[in-house]
Amino acid sequence: MTNINKVVLAYSGGLDTSVIVKWLQEKYKCEVVTFTADIGQGEEVEPARAKAKALGVNKIYIDDLREEFVRDYVFPMFRANAVYEGEYLLGTSIARPLISKRLIEIANEVGADAIAHGATGKGNDQVRFELGAYALKPGIKVIAPWREWELTSREKLMDYCKKHRIPVDFSGKKKKSPYSMDANLLHVSYEGGVLEDPWMESEEDMWRWTVSPENAPDTPIYVNLEFKKGDIVAIDDKLMSPAEILSHLNKVGGDNGIGRLDLVENRYVGMKSRGCYETPGGTIMLYAHRAIESLTLDRESAHLKDSLMPKYAEVVYNGYWWSPERSMLQKLIDTTQDAVNGIVRLKLYKGNVVVVGRKSPDSLFDERIATFEDDDGAYDQKDAEGFIKLNALRLRIAANKGRKLD
């Protein structure tokens, strides 16, 4: 066994990571430093401090990373319009590089030999955490208890807690969700329970952030989103910070039944997984960003971005945020955003996001040319004849040679 003197654990304060604290102390005979990130999961993170102290932890980090999360991770990803497998807005994926970065920073501060996490050996998160950690500190040791221990069920975890007097609430006063959940400012995800049968419809009381579209208000609401260099900076003329913007859009989107998704996705480790997601603010942001780009981006720039987007989304999903390819793609994408400025007006109604207006000082929309009325010579329609014939030339040549197309 590798000699480990000190390890930094990504600590939520829940059952799994509380067991991991004691397990690390027992198996590796090492000092455990805990790190708890507030990235907008909607639950108090401060109670994790008392739980960690009760487990004998002396160095405890609890960091509010909400602004950094949205500014430096969510916003750059949305500049790319990133969507994995046509649907998933990458809510869990995009939080992992920030957590990995902070784990390594703390490991450097305290002189730790290793980091540890509570991700299972079946999921994507183990890959994301560890790829990020190795990219930022190549020699770091990573401890993943779920790949080492024999505590393979909730019952075994609870027995371990009782045996080692780990302070976990067994009273049942607080109803535990039957789902494996992950939450941050961008989304809430749900896996497990009835969702393990892809034919079963999700239960209505599962959803935390959104009302069902059927129960959403009967009157639509309108919002104006102002963009500067591809990022939203104001809502309805009110300047807000990145985290405030996403929080506000989560609220108005959730109230109007926006952002629910039921998806079977391909995990990086090879298996298919069924999950449900709530991403109300992100859904609104995606529609709005594409709308302002439609007005301000050159056609070939927009099409090139669209062709690169699936690769960018795959890179983020698979855990390669801290990689040369993501950096290269990000630089290209960000170069296109200098002119992505203006205002988009949206109508939100019963699960729908409808773009009803957009304007920009950098608009490439030329009304004189686009009009169906008299354009006063701005566009010579005769030019289209030669354009069409040149583009048809290869087709005509092939047809003259008798080439048949099915």
How many residues can be counted in the chain?
A: 406
Q: Is 343 helix (H, G, I), strand (E, B) or coil?
A: strand
Catalytic residue (choose from 125, 128, 189, 260): 125
Concerning whether 159 is annotated as a catalytic residue, the answer is: no
- From 16, 72, 182, 375, active-site residue: 16
Q: Is 125 a catalytic residue?
A: yes
H-assigned helices in 336-382: 367-370
CA–CA separation, 10 vs 52, rounded Å?
12
Active site residue 96: yes
**What letter does residue 122 receive in the DSSP assignment?**
T
3-state helix, strand, coil split of the chain in percent (to 5) is 45, 20, 35
The tokens 């950098």 sit on which residue? 362
Catalytic member of 49, 63, 180, 375? 180
| Alpha-carbon span 145 to 27, nearest angstrom | 10
Radius of gyration of the chain (CA): 25
Please pick, among 12, 79, 93, 96, the residue that the annotation labels catalytic. Answer: 96
Sheet containing 342-349: give its strands across. Answer: 238-239, 231-235, 221-228, 342-349, 352-359
For the chain, the first-to-last Cα distance in angstroms comes to: 64
Are 362 and 296 spatial neighbours (Cβ–Cβ below 8 Å)? Answer: yes
On whether the CB atoms of residues 263 and 88 are closer than 8 A, the answer is yes
Active site residue 16: yes
Long-range contacts, 82-87 (Cβ 8 Å, 24+):
82/309, 82/312, 82/313, 82/316, 83/286, 83/309, 83/313, 84/265, 84/313, 84/314, 84/316, 84/317, 85/263, 85/265, 85/266, 85/313, 87/261, 87/263
Please state whether beta strands 141-143 and 31-38 pair in parallel, antiparallel, or not at all (unpaired). Answer: unpaired
Distance CA 8, CA 117 (A): 9
Active centre residues (catalytic): 16, 96, 125, 180
